[in-house]
Amino acid sequence: MARSFNDSNPDYISVADNAVLDYGDFTISMWLNIVDFFYTLGYFYSHGTVNTSDSLNIFANDDLKKIDIYVGRGGANGATYNRASWSYTNEVWFNYVVTFDQTAGTVIQYKDGVSGGSTTNTPNTTTAISGPLILGGREDFSFSRFLEGRMAEVAKWNRVLTSGEINSLAKKYAPNNIQNGLQFYMPLNRQLIETKVPLTLTNNGSAVYNHPPIINHI
């Protein structure tokens, strides 16, 4: 079972702070099913104060049907902003992947294995973010910034995945089939556990929902 979030409640999942949530190079992957929501912006991955140097925030702009990301670059280096060129369709599951190359300072977002363009800024330092990771809302719990939709299969690697690996995720292979560099894996099913560290997840209202079909070969 996946997890469903209601922006009027609002619902979210809190993931306790841990070193694996910090980042240098990274790939983050998940399955998303975004519902048309009342407010324009719905944050679904929020760690650290948005648009600051020590933060990582990803959100949907439902007016434009676009995904935006702010990647803080550490210290006084500011943040890199990227908006995917592709659009999503409400109430349709899609595989979302974002990669960050720390040395080049490049962010690339993917929908179902297809790149949506890249943004390159100055290289960053490895960024340690304090506080919990929030899934389904923004870290400051702003009432107008919660997600209306569903999430499943959230995972993070400490490297940029290859195009073949990204395509395998789009083909519904589970993230734990890619063990090299895997830092955490949260299926977001009924048990609401993280299988790698394990991280501590606390549910704040999210409900179970039909999971997208996933191939587990590990």
- In tens, the pLDDT along 138-184 reads 999 988 899 999 999 999 999 999 999 999 999 999 999 999 999 99
* pLDDT tens for each residue of 34-58: 998 878 899 999 998 887 778 899 9
Structure pTM?
0.95
* Cα distances (angstroms) measured from residue 13 to each of 3, 33, 49, 192, 207: 9, 16, 17, 9, 10
The domain ranges of the chain are 2-209
* Cα distances (angstroms) measured from residue 54 to each of 36, 39, 72, 73, 83: 30, 26, 5, 7, 19
- Is the Cβ–Cβ distance between 175 and 169 less than 8 Å? yes
Measured distance CA(201)–CA(42) in Å, rounded? 20
pLDDT confidence bin for 117, thresholds 50/70/90:
confident
Average pLDDT along the chain = 91
Strand intervals (E) in the chain = 2-5, 12-15, 26-34, 41-47, 56-61, 66-72, 79-83, 94-101, 106-111, 114-120, 133-135, 149-157, 182-186, 201-204, 207-209
Flag whether pLDDT at 23 surpasses 60: yes
What's the mean pLDDT in 114-122?
Answer: 86
For the domain made up of 2-209, the CATH class stated in words is: mainly beta
